[in-house]
A and B are shown apart, each in its own frame.
Chain A
Amino acid sequence: MIAEAGLAALWLAAAMALFQIGMAWAGASGGADSPLYLRATRGVALAQGVLAATAFAMLIWVFARSDMSVLLVVDNSHSLKPMLYKLSGAWGNHEGSMLLWVTVLAVAGAAVALFERRLEERTLAATLGAQALIGMGFYAFLLFASNPFARINPAPADGQGLNPLLQDPGLAFHPPTLYFGYVGLSVAFSFAVGALLVRDVGPAFARAMRPWVLAAWIFLTIGITAGSYWAYYELGWGGWWFWDPVENASLMPWLAATALLHSVTVLATRDGLRAWTLMLAVVAFSMSMVGTFLVRSGILTSVHAFAVDPLRGSFILILLGLYIGGALLLFATRVGTVKQGATFEFVSREGALVINNLLLSVILGVVLIGTLYPLVAQAMGEQLSIGAPFFNKVTVPVALALVVVTVAGPLLRWRRDTWRALGRRMLMPFAASIAAAMLLFLFARDAGLYPILGLIFAAGLAVGSLLPLVGRNLRRTPLHIWGMAIAHLGVAVSIAGMAADSGFTKERLAAIPIGESLEVGPYRVTLADVGPTVGPNWSALEARLEARRGEGAVFLLRPQQRYFSNPVTSTSEAAIATRWDGQLYAVLGNGSDQGRWQLRLWWKPFVTLIWGGGGLIALGGVLSLVGRLWRERRKRQAEEDDE
C-alpha cells in the first residue's frame, strides 16, 4: 500500500504543478482578479511541496522496511544491509535520485511561496510558475519513464544489494548535498525567468535572489569538497581530482554559481550588471541540467560507475534543450527591455568583479568543451578521451590570474578608484608572495613550476584576503565581510594544499614479504601481518602495517581488500593516517605465490589543506548568508516597529 500511496502523492504533486502554472499565469497577467490568483499560487506551491515530500518519504519507508515487492528496492537494496545504506539506497540510484531532485525542487518552491516577502507579487507569481514548469518535466520523466514505485511480481526473497563503492557514509549524503545546490540554482533561474517575464530587474530582485544563490553555492562547495575526499580515500588511487565527467558535472555549476554570486552582489549593491546577472542565472541552471544529464544518462565513460540507459538520457536531453532553449529565447527577446543599470569606472570593485566573472566564464567554457568534446567526436565517428593534462594545462594559468583579481577586488572601492591606491594596498600581499618565492627557492627548488607558482600565489591571496578586516573594529564588522574574507582565505588554503600535494608527494610501490619494511618520505613502514577479517556484509584480507617516523611512536595502519557477495565485487580500502603536516596513505595490492604482498604507500604533505580550504570556503558562505538574513530581519522588524 505504501508504494501506491507514494505513487498517488507523486501524481497529485504533478497535478499541483500543472495547476500552479495556470494560477501563476493568471496572476502574473495582471487582470482584475489577479490578487486572488496570486494568493492561490502560493497555496498551490505549498501543497505541491508537501505532496512531493510525502512521495519521497514513502520511498524511504519502503527502503527502510526492505519491501522486496518494489522493483527499485530489489535492485538497490538487501535486507542485511546496515540501516544507513538502506536509507541512502533510496536516492543512490537513478529513479530515487530523480525523485529527490523533484522533491527538493518542489519544497524549495514551497519555501519561496512561504517566506519570500521582498519581491513584487507579480514577479513572485511568475517565479513560482517557472519553478512549476521546471518541475513538470521531471514529474513527466518520473511518471512515464522511471517510476520509482513500480512493483515486481512475484517478489524475490531478497534484493541485489548496493554497489559497495556507494556504501560509504560520505557518499550516502553526497548526492543530496549536490542536489540541494542544483535545485537552489533552479530557484535563481526561476527568479530570472520571472523577472524577465514581468520586466522587473533591479536591486530588490537581486536581493531576493541572492540568498538562494548563496545557499546553492554553499551546498555545491560542500558537495564538491566531500566528493573529492570520498574519491581520495575510497578509490584508493591517492588522487583527489580526476577531471572525470562526473566530477566536472558538479564543478561547472559551481563555477557558474561563483560568477553569479559575485555579479548578483553588484546588482544588489550598485544596480549594475543587470543583463549579465540574468544571463548567468540562466547559465548556472543550465550547468546543473548538463550535470544531471551527464551523470544520469551514462553517456560518457566515467571512472564512477552509474546506470546506463540511452532512453533516459535522451529524455533528460530533451528537457535540457527545452529549458535552456526556452530561457535563452526569453532572454534574447526580453533583455532589450531591461533598463541599463548604473555605470562604473573600470578601476573599481565592479570592474574587478567583471574581470572575475570573465575569468570564471573562461574556465567554465574550457571545462565544458573538454567534457563534451569527446561526445561530439564520438558522434562524428572518432573515439577519443580527454584527460587531466588538457584540463590542467588550460585552466591553471587562468586560475592563477583569477587569484590576482581575488586579491585586488576586495581592496578596491565601489564605483571608482585609482591604480595608485590599488598598488599601495597590494603591497602587503605582494610582499607575502615574494617571501614565499624566496623560501621556495631556498628549500624546494625542484618542486615543479605549477606547485611553486601555486604556493606563491596562495601566500599572496592568504594575506590579501585578510586585509579587508585590518583596521576595522572586528566585533562590529558585518558578518558578510567576515564571510568574504574567510571564503577567500579558504581558496588560498585549498590552492596551497593542491600545490603541496602535487609538488612534494612521495610514493613507494613494491611487493614485500611479511616482516620486511619500506621507506616513504619520513616514515618507515613494516608489513607485520596479513590476515582475514569480516564486516557486516563483506569479508576482507587485512594487512597490519607498523609505521614509524624517525624515533617516534609506532602506529598501525590496516589497509584491506574487501570482498562483497551481493553483488559480487571487491574493493580496496585504503588506510590513511592523518598528521598535522600531511597524510600517510597505504593501499594493499595482490599477494603472490612466493608470499609477497603488493604495497603502495604515499606520503602526502599538507594534502588535508585541500579539503580544509573547501570547508573554509563553505563556512564563509554560511557566515555571509546568516549575516545578510539577520540584517534583513532586523531591518524589517525596525520598519514594522515604525508603523
Chain B
Amino acid sequence: MKPKHQRMVLAALAMVAVVGAGGLALSGLRDEAAFFYAPADAKEAPPETGRAVRLGGMVAAGSIQRAADGVTIDFVVTDGKESVPVTFTGVVPDLFKEDSGVVAEGHFNADGSFTATNLLAKHDERYMPPEVAGAMHKSETLDQ
C-alpha cells in the first residue's frame, strides 16, 4: 500500500469509529435511556409498563406507609399537579422523608403505580435533585 493510501485508509477508519460511536450511542439512547418522568408527564403520556425509567418529585406529606415485612414502603410522589403511588422494597436513603425531593428508579405498572428498585436522595438537606426542581417548575408554570 502506498503511504498516501494508507493515510486515507486510517482517516477513513477514524471516521468509521466516530460515526460508529455516534450511531451506537443514538440507537442506545432511543431504546435504553432511563427517561425522567414527573408525575404530570406520566399522566399525560405514560411510558410503557416495565420499561426502566426514573420518576422524580416530592414525597407527599403523610403518604409514607410501612408494610408488615419491615422493608417495603408505600408512598406517593407528587409534583403539585399529579401524583403517583410508589412501592419500594429496600433500605431507604438517610434523607428520604416526607415533603422532600426524591428520584425513584424503577418501572410503571399497568395500573399507573410505580415499582421502585432504587431511591436517590442526597446527603445534603438543602439539596433538591435538579430534575425535580425542573419538573416542579414545569408543572407550576403549566398551572398558570
Which A residues lie at the B interface, using CB under 8 A? Answer: 163, 165, 273, 275-276, 301, 303, 305, 340, 343-345, 354, 358-359, 361-366, 369-370, 373, 378, 383-387, 389-390, 393-394, 398, 509-512, 568-572, 587, 589-590, 592, 594, 596, 598, 600
> Nearest residue in B to A596 (C-beta to C-beta)?
B70
Q: Is B42 an interface residue (CB 8 A)?
A: no
Most chain A CB neighbours (cut-off 10 Å) among B122, B123, B127: B123
Which B residues lie at the A interface, using CB under 8 A? Answer: 1-4, 6-7, 10, 13-14, 16-18, 20-22, 24-29, 31-36, 38, 52, 54, 66, 69-71, 89-92, 94, 103, 105, 120, 122-125, 127, 129-131, 134-135, 138
Q: Which residues of B contact A511 (CB under 8 A)?
A: 69-71
Given contacts A305-B124, A362-B17, contact A393 B32 (CB under 8 A): yes
Closest 5 CB pairs of A and B: A511-B70, A365-B21, A589-B91, A369-B25, A394-B28
Q: Which residues of A contact B13 (CB under 8 A)?
A: 354, 358
Contact A398 B70 (CB under 8 A): no
Q: Which residues of A contact B35 (CB under 8 A)?
A: 384-385
Beyond A383-B38, A394-B32, 4 additional contacts (C-beta under 8 Å) are A385-B33, A393-B31, A590-B92, A592-B70
Contact B33 A362 (CB under 8 A): no
The residue from A165, A343, A587 contacting B123, defined by CB atoms under 8 A apart: A165
Contact B32 A369 (CB under 8 A): no
The residue from B1, B20, B22, B36 contacting A384, defined by CB atoms under 8 A apart: B36
Contact A373 B123 (CB under 8 A): no
The residue from A343, A385, A394 contacting B3, defined by CB atoms under 8 A apart: A343
Contact A276 B14 (CB under 8 A): yes
Given contacts A366-B25, A389-B52, contact A510 B31 (CB under 8 A): no
Contact B90 A343 (CB under 8 A): no
Contact B90 A387 (CB under 8 A): no
Contact B36 A385 (CB under 8 A): yes
The residue from B52, B124, B138 contacting A387, defined by CB atoms under 8 A apart: B52
Contact A383 B34 (CB under 8 A): no
Per the bound structure, the CA–CA distance linking A61 and B102 in Å amounts to 40
19 A–B contact pairs at CB < 8 A?
A165-B123, A276-B14, A343-B1, A343-B6, A354-B13, A361-B17, A366-B24, A366-B28, A370-B25, A385-B33, A385-B34, A385-B54, A387-B105, A390-B29, A394-B28, A509-B89, A587-B91, A590-B91, A596-B70
Given contacts A509-B71, A570-B94, A598-B71, contact A386 B129 (CB under 8 A): no
CB distance from B42 to the nearest CB of A (A): 13
Per the bound structure, the CA–CA distance linking A598 and B88 in Å amounts to 14
Q: Which residues of B contact A510 (CB under 8 A)?
A: 69-71
Contact B71 A364 (CB under 8 A): no
Contact B33 A390 (CB under 8 A): yes
CB distance from A506 to the nearest CB of B (A): 16
> Nearest residue in A to B4 (C-beta to C-beta)?
A340
Per the bound structure, the CA–CA distance linking A239 and B33 in Å amounts to 20
Q: Which residues of A contact B33 (CB under 8 A)?
A: 373, 384-387, 390
The residue from A343, A364, A386, A512 contacting B21, defined by CB atoms under 8 A apart: A364
CB distance from B51 to the nearest CB of A (A): 10
Q: Which residues of A contact B3 (CB under 8 A)?
A: 340, 343
Per the bound structure, the CA–CA distance linking A157 and B40 in Å amounts to 48
CB distance from A240 to the nearest CB of B (A): 15
Contact B17 A358 (CB under 8 A): yes
> Nearest residue in B to A568 (C-beta to C-beta)?
B125
The residue from A340, A359, A365 contacting B25, defined by CB atoms under 8 A apart: A365
Contact A386 B29 (CB under 8 A): yes
CB distance from B92 to the nearest CB of A (A): 7
Q: Which residues of A contact B66 (CB under 8 A)?
A: 592
Per the bound structure, the CA–CA distance linking A387 and B106 in Å amounts to 12
CB distance from B11 to the nearest CB of A (A): 9
CB distance from B78 to the nearest CB of A (A): 16
CB distance from A421 to the nearest CB of B (A): 20
Contact B90 A361 (CB under 8 A): no
CB distance from B65 to the nearest CB of A (A): 13
